[in-house]
Amino acid sequence: MAVTISQIVQAMQPSATMAMAAKAKERKAAGKTVYDFSLGEPDFNTPEHICQAATRAMQEGHTHYTAASGIAELKAAVAKQYQQRHGLEYAPQQVVISNGAKHALNNVFTVLCDPADEVIIPAPYWVSYAEQVKLARGVPVIVDTEQSNDFRLTPEALRAAITPKTKILLLCSPSNPTGTMYSPDDLAALADVSIEHDLVVVADEIYEPLTYGNAKFASFATVRPGLEERTIIINGVSKAYAMTGWRIGWSLAPPHVAKAIASLQSQQTSNPSSISQYAALAAIEGPQDCVEQMRAEFARRRDFVAQRIEALPEITCPNMSGAFYAFMNISAYLGRRFNGTKVETSTDWCLTLLEQEGVATVMGSAFGAEGYARLSFATSLEVLEAGFDAIERFLKSATPA
Ligand code: PMP
Ligand code: GLU
């Protein structure tokens, strides 16, 4: 019997961030030096009080199925957090708890897309959006943005991309991979176009607490009255509380959408881990100083990274106002040789840098931006320092083709 893979999965690209992280781990396992800036995940351990809540949950017998859409206490806590932080009124039934924000996003595309529905995704974009839209039988419509505008989608570019088939606009702020953020005014201008053309906006706010300098985060649904009706917010505990492995994220959506997502989850995955849900509850309801401590450490690293990139010849990077990524413009180095190896694309650049100096980054092409490389600074200052020394050596070795 020939076991064949479905066409839709054959056409899917595996996650490049995950693939580069696997390559870095392989190299480490072979005993070679690696400065791993590939994966966007906090290097901190999950705060102790959250781990203790998980232990307590197991001891108290919270080891059974929960409601497929998550425990009522966590939904209520998420709704309350959005009320307190942003003044948005969500009922607990509008919250669905999923296996990470990635799963929450996948649910949203699955319940909203009919075949050929178009989803506008500003590039550079996080690697999973377009693939998830295609798996949901929708059509990703990629709209380029400019580094000179910190890679923000403009209302004009949005308007130009809209067709009668457009259903969703995807926004990620603070942004993975660019590390930039939309101002409330930027968001309001995009909201006006979305209202005019009756679009749904999926707002990925997973990096919400990680902002730097004077930049101020605004939740998309707050920038114009009544936006809750057309907005689906994605968030979770992975980045804010250093809980990537626990796999808890969520969506906040209009009631009928939340109901559809809950129903989908009841057939596809059932509930996310009961123990992780109690841990996430402790994260949200417990002391928040751990979030600020981690943010402050990320801010120190961000300043360090900005300084080191500034000193790299012919490399630029947008102003990093949020998340933990530097999106470096490496285009000046394409077409050159590094210790004899010809480097033509951002993939060549990243693989050669890993091979020759042990520095793992992710190629811009995976984010829809050839000529760039993403560096995650969710790692210690010591590793960043040694890694940037290695990048400097690498760049110095460049010779014309
Ligand atoms: N959205 C963005 C922009 C991300 O960078 C990530 C990183 N993993 C996710 C969603 C998914 O988060 P999670 O680990 O909670 O699935
Ligand atoms: N979001 C992180 C990143 O972009 C984790 C990997 C992933 O989920 O793709 O590196």
| Torsions phi, psi for 368 (to 5 deg) | 75, 25
102 Cα: distance to centroid of ligand 2 (angstroms): 9
pLDDT confidence band for 401 (50 / 70 / 90): confident
Mean of pLDDT values over 276-290: 98
∠ Cα 234 324 25 (to 5°):
100
**Residue with CA nearest ligand 2 atom 3:** 40
202 Cα: distance to centroid of ligand 2 (angstroms): 18
pLDDT at 152: 97
39 Cα: distance to centroid of ligand 2 (angstroms): 6
Residue 138 in this model has a pLDDT that exceeds 80: yes
Residue 302 in this model has a pLDDT that exceeds 80: yes
Residues of the chain above pLDDT 90, percent: 97
127 Cα nearest atom in ligand 2: 9
**Pocket residue to mutate for ligand 1, from 172, 220, 239, most atoms within 8 A of Cβ:** 239
Mean of pLDDT values over 52-59: 98
Ligand nearest to the CA of 125: 1
Residue 334 in this model has a pLDDT that exceeds 80: yes
Report in angstroms the alpha-carbon separations of 262 from 83, 98, 253.
22, 9, 11
206 Cα: distance to centroid of ligand 1 (angstroms): 7
Residues of the chain above pLDDT 70, percent: 100
**Residue with CA nearest ligand 1 atom 12:** 101
pLDDT tens per residue, range 175-233:
999 999 999 999 999 999 999 999 999 999 999 999 999 889 999 999 999 999 999 99
pLDDT confidence band for 1 (50 / 70 / 90): confident
Ligand nearest to the CA of 128: 2
Question: Distance between CA 64 and CA 249 in Å, rounded?
Answer: 19
**Residue with CA nearest ligand 2 atom 9:** 17
Cβ pair 375, 178 in contact under 8 A: no
**Pocket residue to mutate for ligand 1, from 206, 207, 325, most atoms within 8 A of Cβ:** 206
40 Cα: distance to centroid of ligand 2 (angstroms): 5
99 Cα nearest atom in ligand 1: 16
Domains of the chain: 7-45+290-400 (3.90.1150.10), 64-285 (3.40.640.10)
Residue 364 in this model has a pLDDT that exceeds 90: yes
Q: From edge to edge, which strands make up the β-sheet containing 398-400?
A: 341-343, 336-338, 398-400
pLDDT at 13: 87
249 Cα nearest atom in ligand 1: 15
376 Cα nearest atom in ligand 2: 10
Which amino acid does the sequence have at 154? T
Give kind and range of the element (H or E) at residue 398: strand 398-400
**Residue with CA nearest ligand 2 atom 1:** 40
Report in angstroms the alpha-carbon separations of 368 from 198, 281, 308.
26, 36, 25
102 Cα: distance to centroid of ligand 1 (angstroms): 5
Mean of pLDDT values over 346-372: 97
pLDDT tens per residue, range 234-275:
999 999 999 999 999 999 999 999 999 999 999 999 999 999
The binding-site residues of ligand 2, defined as CB within 6 angstroms of any ligand atom, are 15, 17-18, 39-41, 102, 126-128, 176
101 Cα: distance to centroid of ligand 1 (angstroms): 5
Residue 379 in this model has a pLDDT that exceeds 80: yes
17 Cα: distance to centroid of ligand 2 (angstroms): 6
